[in-house]
Homo-oligomer: A and B are copies of this chain.
């Protein structure tokens, strides 16, 4: 369970691409030549695609791993939601994800793919948190001060969740939401994006708006 307030980092597209390029070169310079690159869905799709570009690698596929929380206080269970669709027996794999947080995702991925009789499974992430229980083979950046990373391919979903968190504490104007995002999560979001996110919450019935004041729907 995450606490009520914690630091976040919004990563730009350019920065994400720079990290992915660095990751690709780390793989290349290590001499590892994977037969397949396996993106972890959904977070690994963009990094894996960019890594394939810089490795000039064609054989990109994906699996999807989900985390099921049985109860809020328990550690979620990790399951393979969409398996591989290709025979990787005897093949060298490079598994790509965006970040190691708990490390559960990559632990599960490696266990699953090893069970598919891959000859070698190596893992690569853009950012590795040293709080993770799993150490990937390659990472572009080490994060030693824990923060929640918001990647540009998840910005809408993540920020929608953060705005709902803010509204859980009580109704707020758009300005109040922006101030709370900055204070509680060190997130600076421009007016247009915030308006888009709040509009989405209202249209999906997750929040209500009256006279410029947003409140969480029951």
Residues of A participating in the B interface, judged by any CB pair closer than 8 Å: 13-14, 17, 21, 39, 41-42, 45-46, 48-50, 52-54, 56, 58-64, 66, 82-86, 152-157, 160
Copies of this chain, count: 2
In the complex, the answer to whether A53 meets B14 with C-beta atoms within 8 Å is no
In the complex, the answer to whether B46 meets A45 with C-beta atoms within 8 Å is yes
Q: Say what secondary structure dominates the interface of chain A.
A: mixed
- How near does chain B come to A157, taking the closest CB pair, in angstroms? 5
- Of the listed residues A39, A83, A153, the one surrounded by the most CB atoms of chain B closer than 10 A to its CB is A153
In the complex, the answer to whether B85 meets A153 with C-beta atoms within 8 Å is no
Q: Which residue of B lies closest to A36 (CB)?
A: B82
Q: Which residue of B lies closest to A45 (CB)?
A: B49
Q: Which residue of B lies closest to A37 (CB)?
A: B42
- How near does chain B come to A177, taking the closest CB pair, in angstroms? 18
